Amino acid sequence: MSKESLTVPVRRLASPPRPDTEDSQAVPEPQDGVPADRGKRPAPASGGAGLRLDIQGLRAVAVSLVVFAHSGVSSLAGGYVGVDVFFVISGFLITSLMLREWGRDGRISLSRFYARRALRLLPASTLVVVATLAGSWLFLGPLRFAEYAKDAIASAWYVVNFRLADAGTDYFNTDVPPSPFQHFWSLAVEEQFYLIWPIVLIIALKIFRRRVLLTIPLLALAAVSFALNLQLTESSPSWAYFGSQGRIWELAVGALVALAANRLDAIPRPVAAALSWAGLAAIGYAAVAFDDDTVFPGHNAAIPVLGAAAVLAGGAVAGRYGAAAVLSLRPAVWIGGISYAWYLWHWPLIVIVPAAAGFGEHDGPLRLVAALCGIGLAWSTLRLVEDPMRFHRAFKARAGRGLSLGLGLSAVAAAVAVVAVQFPPSLTSGGERQDTKEVIAQAPDHHAALTRLLEQPVDKLPSNLEPSLHDVAYKRTAVYTDDCALTMEDVKQTQPCLYGDTSAERTVVLFGDSHVAQWFPALDAIAREHHWRLYSFTKNACKIAQITIEYNKGPYSTCDDWRAVTLEKILKMDPELVITSSSNSAKLWGEGDTATEWGKGQAETYRRLQRGGIQVLTLLDNPWPKNNAVDCAVAHPKDLSACARPRSEADPKPDVTKALVAAAKAEDVTVIDPYDWVCAPSGNCPIVAGNTMVYRDFGHLADGFVEALTPVVEDRLLRLFGADLSRHPGA
């Protein structure tokens, strides 16, 4: 998906929180796997004799929705709402557990609580972390292995959600393949909640005598979290999705149902039955009606959250006429029993198995087959790892041992990841190729030398690739490290963002989105050589044209605000030259033809700049590769031609390009078409020229390639404007 499409695809890549099963559930587990008598009225959530089989079935529904959604089953595209169902279940069960302990012992032991959590979660999760790390090393290639290892470490210590939330704000991460550890984010969210809630509950139990008053701190926590959820969904979707601060309210809803458990018996059985069915229907509706385009979590998350709460509340007294009629069926109960382990295994299998089989990451049928194979692994993990550790007498009686085991397992998983990074997987490559930067710089005709390099096919990844693939993908120029390329949310530039010869008299301004910022390595070098001050005014995905485009299902208003502020700054600076460029791929917000409106908006910006007597140069958008060029090179190191693209297919919006050229001609603005700098005269647009990657991702030129182009760009600029920027091309 194009970054310039202004979507933030962080939500669906690996969203489900894991199904959490405590040692003690809403009611004690039956022994020897014998289910409680389905004919009896289920015990209330506050305590009782029978297992709430409907909760096990609800777990099965939730994990199945998540697995099918991640496997690409289009009819259940909204299955990611299983995330929210699991959060509610977990909040309900663990609060019930603590309330029973308080009622039985008059106290809640934090050491026992955290020991139970460690014994329940860490043996299986440590196994999956290590296995996933091994699969990543073997099959996912060397490019992102170091990042995956960092994800493994963050997963082991329950902070991976913060890492994912922060990565989601990186504009250049939007087309990066999902981490095989991404699904561990939900464990982190829950454990962060459980660092707070037991302490809050203990304090509240000591302060308040009446049980109803215990809801006060929980309601406050839920209200603040829900408000943050709404705000973050609007301003920072990745933090709304992965951050614990905007998710705690979902666990709190489950905890509120547990606090109300002693009053649930007052609900008439027909009403309770209807309530449980309505809750299950709400979950089903969300799974079918929602999809990747649904704004989530936000207010939409309330549907599955309240639905799960209704199933839990109604199921306590509804008996066989409620949703328990289907949720308590033996297959559902069985799946619910292995749901935690199935959740742990399903995502690594979806990510790694297609890669191991030589298929693309979006191979739907294979993803589904791989995820379903996780059922067998889940059952084995439950029987051979989870249960033996949870119920071993060496740990059950002594909380300290359980805590020590948990810390030890987390440390082992992290240590394995640290060691693995020291021995990264290798990448098969070809022999040495000509040094791109050196060949162009030393040639008497720089452009002719570039053309010869582009015409020479590079079929195998050069052994002397410079910069390395990792540096191409992850290293950024000063414009980004200095925070001079504004994010989607920013409007004001806090840094001076002055480069080139900072003491010079003549001034050049870069103005546009990331597709003008990508030219910084060449333009900064040229500015220093010819004594120009170079100011950078760039904002991710923001066009210079006077149009409003779509972002996150709404108008990209921060772009409009930034553009207005920046134009005023540029006019006050009165530079000799403004160099503009932007990606020509975006969706217009509102009515009208995109190309027509874009052309009109571009012409309006040109007129405004030229009324101030400023010369304007437009660099048209560069040709785009088939997909993420770096990932393609890793996948096809011996057949790079599979990643090349014909020039005729390399423009994602040729109608927009045509409109921009017409607008520039009408306003007498100089235009440079960079296609001849990227594609060979034969029409082939390679991803490697000489020993240098041409692209750094799916649409941006690589910094190393732009740096190598410096003499070519310099020749063109000097012919057009002169070294002192006094020449007027249109004169």
Bridge-based pairing state of the strands 615-619 and 670-672: parallel
* pLDDT given for residue 299 in this prediction: 96
How many angstroms separate the CA atoms of 395 and 115, rounded?
A: 8
* pLDDT given for residue 171 in this prediction: 62
Mean pLDDT of 318-347: 94
In this predicted structure, which of 76-90, 206-220, 460-474 has the lowest mean pLDDT?
A: 206-220
Three-state DSSP state, 701: strand
Is the overall model pTM greater than 0.75, yes or no?
yes
* pLDDT given for residue 236 in this prediction: 87
**Which of the four pLDDT bands, split at 50, 70 and 90, describes residue 594?**
very high
pLDDT tens figures, 606-617: 999 999 889 999
Q: What is the dihedral of CA 595, 601, 605, 607, to 10 degrees?
A: 100
Region of residue 141 (phi > 0: left; psi between -120 and 50: alpha; otherwise: beta): left
pLDDT tens figures, 100-147: 999 898 899 998 899 888 888 999 999 999 999 999 999 998 889 999
Has residue 232 got a pLDDT over 50? Answer: yes
Three-state DSSP state, 575: coil
pLDDT tens figures, 177-201: 899 999 999 999 999 999 889 998 9
* pLDDT given for residue 729 in this prediction: 86
* pLDDT given for residue 312 in this prediction: 96
Mean pLDDT of 96-103: 92
At position 724, the amino acid (one-letter code) is D
pLDDT tens figures, 47-74: 333 578 999 999 999 999 999 999 999 9
How many angstroms separate the CA atoms of 653 and 228, rounded?
A: 37
Of the candidates 555, 549, 705, 547, the one whose C-alpha atom is nearest the C-alpha of residue 625 is 705
* pLDDT given for residue 327 in this prediction: 96
Residue 279: partners with Cβ closer than 8 Å, 6 or more residues away: 306, 307, 308, 309, 310, 311, 312, 313, 314, 323
Number of other CB atoms surrounding residue 157 within 10 Å:
13
In this predicted structure, which of 166-180, 315-329, 360-374 has the lowest mean pLDDT?
A: 166-180
**Which of the four pLDDT bands, split at 50, 70 and 90, describes residue 173?**
low
* pLDDT given for residue 231 in this prediction: 94
How many angstroms separate the CA atoms of 267 and 41, rounded?
A: 13
* pLDDT given for residue 360 in this prediction: 59
Q: What is the DSSP letter of 466?
A: S
127-133's contacts with Cβ under 8 Å and 24+ in sequence apart are: 127/381, 127/385, 128/344, 128/345, 128/348, 128/381, 129/155, 129/156, 129/181, 129/184, 129/413, 129/416, 129/417, 130/413, 130/416, 131/348, 132/180, 132/181, 132/348, 132/352, 133/416, 133/417, 133/420
> Per the structure block, which two tokens stand in for 688?
């490697």
* pLDDT given for residue 27 in this prediction: 29
Residue 717: partners with Cβ closer than 8 Å, 6 or more residues away: 526, 617
Cβ–Cβ < 8 Å for 321, 270: yes
* pLDDT given for residue 730 in this prediction: 67
The residues facing 672 across adjacent strands are: 619
Of the candidates 152, 161, 145, 89, the one whose C-alpha atom is nearest the C-alpha of residue 125 is 152
Mean pLDDT of 36-42: 33
Has residue 6 got a pLDDT over 70? Answer: no
pLDDT greater at residue 12 or residue 143? 143
Question: At 276, phi and psi to the nearest 5?
Answer: -70, -40
How many angstroms separate the CA atoms of 706 and 521, rounded?
A: 6
Number of other CB atoms surrounding residue 75 within 10 Å:
10
**Which of the four pLDDT bands, split at 50, 70 and 90, describes residue 718?**
very high
